Amino acid sequence: MGLLSWLVAAGRDTISQVVLVWLITAAIGFAGLHHVILGAVEVLAGAFAGQGVGPADVGHFLLWATLGNTLGGALFVALLKYGRARPEAQNTFGR
């Protein structure tokens, strides 16, 4: 989601920003990935509604979702930035 806000800020017009939001959130949803913020709302709603979700379940979810979001997000952004910064990707127009 941090990448999403970075990409939306880089978008030139409203249509491209909407498309970027849709692509990133659709990728998260279709891949079955759990985002820590959205998932926390779901897990806490289950806990407060008395659906058998205890404090250990909430902690377990938050631990793994946070680790997954942190490592996965860092890896994804690193790959994108590497792809942009590698020498072959540099603009050689006019040389």
Place of tokens 């909407």: 18
The pLDDT tens digits for 72-84 are 878 877 887 777 6
pTM of the model: 0.56
Question: Which has the closest alpha carbon to 55: 67, 44, 66, 68?
Answer: 44
**For all residues of the chain together, what is the average pLDDT?**
79
Q: Where are the alpha helices (DSSP H) in 11-91?
A: 14-30, 36-48, 55-85
Tell me the pLDDT tens digit for each residue of 17-38. 888 888 877 887 788 776 777 7
| pLDDT 10s digits, 35-60 | 777 788 889 999 999 899 999 999 99
Residue 23 in tokens: 């692509």
